[in-house]
């Protein structure tokens, strides 16, 4: 079994001043990576700002013999993010790993939420991840090496009351990962998602006090390190919490094909249970795999033979 080792690698971890980001930065540094510790130093709702948190993590890494620099860029500001990427490359010569972890919360029911609060959470979580990834993408393509992680959430995949903004931003990571996997995998760039359940300043008020010791950020980081390792998987959603790990996948049921004479809403509704039947469900590698599936089903029902070029 090969050992996970980041000697000679350079990583940027956003939101790394506290919580999960701090744990990830320390974990990378402990295994040899040079780390850019990014943190705006804002409060949980995104207000304020201070470089103290990031510098504290840098000091801890350096005290343990590692190499790190602090950066206070706001991930929602593309110009600041580009400057951070340029600084990292100037300081260390390259960037191999990007961990998109920065985030804020502005929880309210959708009826009470302002569009400003919705947009701000999208700007930090989704556009923050886009900004950081875009700033490094060409660099990674040119070097034909990159490891990128987007931080998603069960709120995005399964829903959580009062988090429509957060859930929307986190679920958007799925589409971003899938497309970047297709565009980057041939260039040695592996893109994955981490879905953590941890007791951090963003979640500790939402969790029962008795479970907080079980869900320390340090129980998540071993999984994160695997997602950015030399032998990392690709296009994986890794669920993690309390030292437990699982893979989340999206499947499509086998489905039902309707002939032209029965293709109406009443027929579809009548067979809804059959449409939703999970037996025989499969994973779709890409968007056109679904398209081809429907073409095959529709053609077979109508007795149409397709040439390979038509599929």
Distance CA 197, CA 185 (A): 28
Q: Which of 45-54, 116-125, 175-184 has the lowest mean pLDDT?
A: 45-54
Give φ, ψ of 177 to 5 degrees.
Answer: -60, -45
269 and 162 both lie in a single domain? no
Confidence of residue 203 (pLDDT cuts 50, 70, 90): low
Confirm whether 124 is domain-assigned. yes
Find the mean pLDDT for residues 300-305: 90
Give φ, ψ of 38 to 5 degrees.
Answer: -95, 130
CATH number at residue 96: 3.40.50.720
Element (H, E) at 30: helix 19-30
Handedness of CA 208, 213, 214, 218 (dihedral sign): positive
255 and 244 both lie in a single domain? no
Handedness of CA 153, 154, 156, 159 (dihedral sign): negative
| Residue 186 clears pLDDT 70, i.e. is over it | yes
203 and 295 both lie in a single domain? no
125 and 58 both lie in a single domain? yes
| Residue 290 clears pLDDT 90, i.e. is over it | no
Percent pLDDT > 70 in the chain is 91
What is the model's pLDDT at position 206? 60
What is the model's pLDDT at position 302? 87
24 and 118 both lie in a single domain? yes
Distances (CA, A) of 42 to 105, 149, 162, 167: 11, 22, 22, 21
What is the model's pLDDT at position 21? 96
Cβ atoms of 190 and 211 closer than 8 Å: no
What is the model's pLDDT at position 214? 76
| 166 given a catalytic annotation | yes
Distance CA 225, CA 229 (A): 6
Closest CA to 224 of 19, 1, 75: 19
Confirm whether 190 is domain-assigned. yes
Confirm whether 4 is domain-assigned. no
204 and 182 both lie in a single domain? yes
| Residue 161 clears pLDDT 60, i.e. is over it | yes
138: left (phi over 0), alpha (psi -120 to 50) or beta: alpha
272 and 241 both lie in a single domain? no
CA-based radius of gyration for the chain:
22
Which of 231, 248, 265 is at the close of a domain?
A: 248
| Residue 51 clears pLDDT 80, i.e. is over it | no
> What pTM value is reported for the model?
0.90
Percent pLDDT > 90 in the chain is 77
Cβ atoms of 190 and 146 closer than 8 Å: yes
218 and 299 both lie in a single domain? no
Strands 97-100 and 68-71, how do they pair?
unpaired
User: Regarding predicted confidence, which is higher, 2 or 12?
Assistant: 12
What is the model's pLDDT at position 45? 53
Cβ atoms of 143 and 95 closer than 8 Å: no
149 and 295 both lie in a single domain? no
Q: How is residue 272 written in tokens?
A: 């809804």
| Residue 210 clears pLDDT 90, i.e. is over it | no
pLDDT tens for each residue of 79-128: 999 999 999 999 999 999 999 999 999 999 999 999 999 999 999 999 99
pLDDT tens for each residue of 60-78: 999 999 999 999 999 999 9
Closest CA to 149 of 222, 73, 235, 72: 235
Confirm whether 75 is domain-assigned. yes
What is the model's pLDDT at position 49? 52
198 and 81 both lie in a single domain? yes
Q: How is residue 156 written in tokens?
A: 């995005």
- Which segments of 100-238 does DSSP mark as H helices, in order? 115-122, 128-143, 154-157, 164-184, 221-227
211 and 298 both lie in a single domain? no
Q: What domain range is 273 assigned to?
A: 251-310
Confirm whether 300 is domain-assigned. yes
What is the model's pLDDT at position 123? 97
Which of 233, 248, 263 is at the close of a domain?
A: 248
Q: How is residue 95 written in tokens?
A: 């960037």
Distance CA 310, CA 110 (A): 45
Element (H, E) at 229: none
What is the model's pLDDT at position 207? 63
What is the model's pLDDT at position 204? 58
Scanning the structure block, which residue is given the tokens 């950020």? 217
When the pLDDT of each residue in the chain is averaged and rounded to a whole number, the result is 92
145, 158, 166, 251: the catalytic one is 166
What is the model's pLDDT at position 200? 58
Cβ atoms of 122 and 169 closer than 8 Å: yes
As a whole number of angstroms, the longest Cα–Cα distance in the chain is 74
Across the chain, how many H-helices and E-strands are there?
A: 11, 10
What is the model's pLDDT at position 286? 85
Cβ atoms of 125 and 170 closer than 8 Å: yes
Q: Number of folded domains in the chain?
A: 2
Confirm whether 2 is domain-assigned. no
User: Regarding predicted confidence, which is higher, 287 or 223?
Assistant: 223
pLDDT tens for each residue of 120-150: 999 999 999 999 999 999 999 999 999 999 9
pLDDT tens for each residue of 226-271: 999 999 999 999 999 888 899 999 999 999 999 999 999 999 999 9
108 forms beta bridges with 163
219 and 255 both lie in a single domain? no
Confirm whether 61 is domain-assigned. yes
Confirm whether 128 is domain-assigned. yes
Which of 226, 248, 270 is at the close of a domain?
A: 248
């Amino acid at each position: 079994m090969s050992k996970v080792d980041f000697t000679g690698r350079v990583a940027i971890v956003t939101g790394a001043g506290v919580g999960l980001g701090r744990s990830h930065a320390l974990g990378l540094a402990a295994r040899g990576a040079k780390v850019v510790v990014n943190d705006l130093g804002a409060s949980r709702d995104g207000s304020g700002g201070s470089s103290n948190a990031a510098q504290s993590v840098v000091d801890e890494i350096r005290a343990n013999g590692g190499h790190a620099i602090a950066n206070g860029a706001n991930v929602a500001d593309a110009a600041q993010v580009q400057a951070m990427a340029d600084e990292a490359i100037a300081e260390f010569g390259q960037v191999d790993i990007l961990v998109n972890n920065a985030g804020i919360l502005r929880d309210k029911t959708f009826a009470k939420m302002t569009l400003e609060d919705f947009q701000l959470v999208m700007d930090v979580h989704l556009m923050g991840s886009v900004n950081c990834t875009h700033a490094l993408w060409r660099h990674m393509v040119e070097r034909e090496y990159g490891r990128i992680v987007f931080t998603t959430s069960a709120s995005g995949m399964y829903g959580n009351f009062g988090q429509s903004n957060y859930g929307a931003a986190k679920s958007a990571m799925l589409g971003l990962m899938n497309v970047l996997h297709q565009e980057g995998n041939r260039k040695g760039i592996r893109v994955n998602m981490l879905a953590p359940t941890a007791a951090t300043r963003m979640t500790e008020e939402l969790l029962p006090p008795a479970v907080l010791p079980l869900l320390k950020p340090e129980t998540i980081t071993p999984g994160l390190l695997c997602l950015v390792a030399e032998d990392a998987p690709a296009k994986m959603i890794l669920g993690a919490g309390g030292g437990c790990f699982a893979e989340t996948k999206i499947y499509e049921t086998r489905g039902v094909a309707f002939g032209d004479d029965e293709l109406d809403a009443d027929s579809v509704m009548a067979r809804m249970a059959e449409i939703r039947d999970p037996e025989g469900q499969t994973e779709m590698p890409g968007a056109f795999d679904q398209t081809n599936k429907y073409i095959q089903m529709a053609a077979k029902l109508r007795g149409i033979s397709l040439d390979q070029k038509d599929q």
